[in-house]
Structure 1
Amino acid sequence: MNTASVIEPDALAAGRPLRLLDVRDVPAFDAAHATKAIRVPIEEWEAAAKADTTGLDNVAYWEQAIRQLGIDDHALAVVYDDGRMTEAARVWFILQYFGVRATILNGGWPALSSPDIPAEWIASGSAAFHASPDSGRVGLTDRVTLQSELEDGIDILDARTVAEFRGEDLRRNKRGGHIPGARHLPHGALLIQNRLRHSDELRQLLAEAGFQSGDDIITHCDGEDAPRWRQRLPFMPVTTTCAFTT
């Protein structure tokens, strides 16, 4: 699955047929949304991903949840949020993990010049999707595996804020700080005015943080029992936020 992780609004036509997925809250979605967009119940997805019985290893649960969005094996799922590209990244992660052709709309809802996307661009929504776990560009690793790899110098990208990384902001945690050897690159630094920075700028930020193309890295944030993303850093990085924050 070689779908680009991020798409510009003016490139939507090239990706059709599309399935537009809105990850904003209910009031925002009800006020206005793109043509034939489907709202993803992000609050339900976050809770399900953390629960023992509906975690990401429950393929049947997530296959059904994705089918309810009218996604099939052919349409390009375009995910957008309010522009912060956090909730959209969480949904994108789940979709691509289970084999959906998915991408994040750069800039989110504010970047759409008009919600009136031509209806012929939108997929019919056959809901004939079949989940194929761990088939996307970014996969999962667990705590035990991560702990066993720390001594081997595995590359870890901590995408939290500066205060969280330093241990000054504990949020709901009993202790603060960061994983020994982790490198810091806050999610917010990757954006400028709610849009992902240009690839040259991203490449420079990653290099300054100690990463280079081809590195096998694990990213994480502050999510309680959050999945850790494992990926081989491509030429153009994906949005490096954690799947679930609390």
Structure 2
Amino acid sequence: MRILVSTSELAEALVSARPPVVLDVRWALGGPPGRESYLAGHVPGAVFVDLDKDLAAEPGAGGRHPLPAPEDLQSVLRAAGVSSDSSVVVYDGNNGSIAARAWWLLRWAGHRDVSVLDGGYAAWESEGREVTTDVPEPEPGDFQVQPGHMPTIDADGAARLAKDGVLLDARAPERFRGEVEPVDPRPGHIPGAVNAPFTGHLNADGRWLPAAELAERFRALGVHADSEVGAYCGSGVTASSVVLALEAAGITDPDKPAVLYPGSWSEWSSDPSRPAATTG
């Protein structure tokens, strides 16, 4: 499957001889809990996966959403029915920023056949497509997590990339500038980083921009095919959508993706020795 799939493509795949594993990863900062939304209605056959419990380790020194332990992620994916030969489609509420975290983790774990539903559940529901409250009991999968297939950097690596390459900050402009900080210890951004809000990847309806428009946006931000590029955000979640967008734009490719700083600002800002810029 392609990196982004449409609602019509997913609907067709669901009635095929071998339908994909569908993961519902709806989540919102401050709630309501994603499971409540899932139980109220979801794509037929979709399995709910919780961002906080399933797609991240416990908050701590590594930030608010550290990468899960490989064995924990493997248990979650197998319980959801993911096998080594499964096609997987992930969706969130609308903009793909949370679904991109699951996409990135699956790719990091060594699974290549994974896509994000363009427009998410909002697009699916708005088109009057079938929804259900039935909770499936999938046959356990056999997928073996082999971490490290997507590149990551730590705080020192992020500092170097901001100086020598292009480090994109996926947060809203006011958080990047340090005007507000609703969650993390200090306001601001990593010195030298470039603001690239994840919402800029999207049309007004929540669907992703065409590849050519994404590429133009990244070029305007100083990213080119030969750039060393990476991304961070508040806790390493929405930055995954920047990694996805760079690949969807054709600037990076599956064999050489952009790097992710998983700890992101939640880790960086908790260390008082790390500088914080509040301009730009």
TM above 0.5 = yes
Deviation at 1:126, TM superposition (A): 4.3
**1:44 maps to 2:66:** no
For residue 9 of structure 2, the aligned residue among 8, 11, 19 is: 11
Report the alpha carbon displacement of residue 109 of structure 1 after superposing the two structures with TM: 0.8
Matched, 1:176 2:187: yes
Tell me the SS of whatever aligns to 1:141: coil
The 10-residue stretch of structure 1 (45-54 or 19-28) with the greater mean CA deviation from structure 2: 45-54
Amino acid in the other structure paired with 1:154: G
- What's the CA shift string for 1:176-196, capped at 9, x where partnerless? 222222111111111112111
TM-score of the two chains, using structure 2 as the length reference = 0.71
Checking the alignment, whether the CA contact within 8 Å between 1:90 and 1:243 is kept in structure 2 is no
The answer to whether the aligner puts 1:186 opposite 2:197 as a matched pair is yes
Q: Once the 2 structures are TM-superposed, how far is the Cα of residue 236 of structure 1 from its aligned partner?
A: 2.9
The corresponding residue for 1:155 is: 166
Establish whether residue 236 from structure 1 lines up as the match of residue 250 from structure 2. Answer: yes
User: Matched residues in 2 for 1:162 and 1:42: separation?
Assistant: 24
2:154–2:261 Cα contact (<8 Å) kept: no
Contact kept, 8 Å, 1:81 with 1:109, in 2: the verdict is: yes
SS at match of 1:196: coil
| TM superposition score normalised by structure 1 | 0.80
Give 2:86's aligned residue: 75
Alpha carbons of structure 1 residues 111 and 52: separation in structure 2 relative to 1, 3 Å? same
Contact 2:198 2:239 in 1 (8 A): no
- Taking the aligned partners of 1:140 and 1:50, their CA distance within structure 2 comes to 18
- 1:191-211 CA distance string (max 9 Å, x none): 112111111211111111111
State the distance in 2 between where 1:95 and 1:197 align. Answer: 23
Match of 1:32 in 2: 41
Out of 71, 85, 88, the residue aligned to residue 96 of structure 2 is 85
How many angstroms apart in 2 are the aligned matches of 1:141 and 1:172?
22
Counterpart of 2:130, as a letter, is P
2:58 maps to 1:58: no
State the secondary structure of the residue aligned to 2:229: strand
Do residues 134 (structure 1) and 148 (structure 2) align? yes
Question: For residue 255 of structure 2, what is the aligned residue in structure 1?
Answer: none
SS at match of 1:195: coil
Pair 244,142 (structure 1): closer, same or farther in 2 beyond 3 Å: closer
Residues 77/50 of structure 1: CA separation in 2 closer, same or farther (3 Å cut): farther
Instruction: Say whether the 8 Å CA contact 1:157–1:220 is kept in structure 2.
Output: yes
Residue pair 1:22, 1:38 contacting (<8 A) in 2 also = yes
State the distance in 2 between where 1:69 and 1:219 align.
Answer: 28
Q: State whether residues 109 and 147 of structure 2, in contact with CA within 8 Å, keep that contact through their aligned partners in structure 1.
A: yes
Structure 2 residue runs without a partner (length 5+): 27-33, 133-137, 253-257, 267-280
Secondary structure, in 3 states, of the residue corresponding to 1:157? strand
Structure 2 equivalent of residue 120 of structure 1: none
